[in-house]
Amino acid sequence: MIRSFALAAAVLLVSLPPAAAVAQDDLARQLINSCVGCRLPKDLHGRDLHGLRFVGADLRDVDFSHANLNGAEFTGAGLRGVKIVGANLNDAKLAGARLNDARLAGATVGDAILCADNRGGDDFAPRTVCADLRGADLHGVDLRAARHCSDDERSAARSCRPVTRAELTDLAHADLTGALAPA
């Protein structure tokens, strides 16, 4: 019931005219951020969604074009067919997100986390998880500052380094045609 109300309120808030939408951004951000695993409205283009958590969300075919997604977390999110053209993804956490057939042309990726090694469990062995970029349009996307980070659950420390071309092609299944990729 609460989940249905939150979804209905989010749909109403993101469909308001631009002037009214700006005044309602804080409430819309709270509703979207608290909705784990929800299906969100399909049109979120141009929205300020920085720092929000879309963990496990079903975001198939959502239009995030020109949205501010700086620092947003998409862990385990389904982003098949999303449109992220011209969006700001600086510092976004995309490791484990499914971006199959996504359109990212011209998006600003900056230092987004595309791959991560998670150490935990009984053996503390690292497990590498990358964003799944099969079929994604990466034309004009600069991936040279994108990161591969490692978390150590025992010490709560994080270390990051630039993601490699091999990781993008072999683990993230990226077609780097037209993208600025690491050497």
Convert the pLDDT of each residue in 4-59 to its tens digit.
Answer: 434 444 444 444 445 554 555 676 677 777 666 667 789 999 999 999 998 888 89
Cα 76 to its chain centre, rounded Å, is: 9
Distance CA 130, CA 57 (A): 17
Is residue 183 situated within a structural domain? no
Q: Does residue 5 sit in the same domain as residue 93?
A: no
The residue assigned the tokens 């979804």 is 7
Structural contact between residues 177 and 139, judged by C-beta atoms closer than 8 angstroms: yes
- Tens of pLDDT along 103-149? 999 999 999 999 998 765 565 667 889 999 999 999 999 999 999 99
The per-residue pLDDT of the chain, averaged, comes to: 83
Is residue 181 situated within a structural domain? no
- Tens of pLDDT along 78-107? 999 999 999 999 999 999 999 999 999 999
Is residue 178 situated within a structural domain? no
Is residue 16 situated within a structural domain? yes
Q: Does residue 18 sit in the same domain as residue 68?
A: no
Indicate the DSSP class of residue 180.
B
Domain total of the chain: 2
Q: Does residue 13 sit in the same domain as residue 68?
A: no
Structural domain containing residue 106? 39-171
Q: Does residue 70 sit in the same domain as residue 19?
A: no
Task: Please give the C-alpha separations between residue 160 and each of 21, 110, 117, 120, 179, in angstroms, as whole numbers.
Answer: 36, 14, 10, 17, 22
Q: What is the pLDDT of residue 129?
A: 92
Q: Does residue 7 sit in the same domain as residue 62?
A: no
Q: What is the pLDDT of residue 177?
A: 95
Q: Does residue 69 sit in the same domain as residue 95?
A: yes
Q: Does residue 61 sit in the same domain as residue 10?
A: no
> Does the reported pTM lie above 0.85?
no
Q: Does residue 95 sit in the same domain as residue 147?
A: yes
Task: Assign 35 to helix, strand or coil.
Answer: coil
pLDDT exceeds cutoff 50 at 170: yes
Handedness of CA 47, 85, 83, 50 (dihedral sign): negative
Is residue 44 situated within a structural domain? yes
H/E segment holding residue 33: helix 18-33
* DSSP symbols for 100-111: TT-B-TT-B-TT
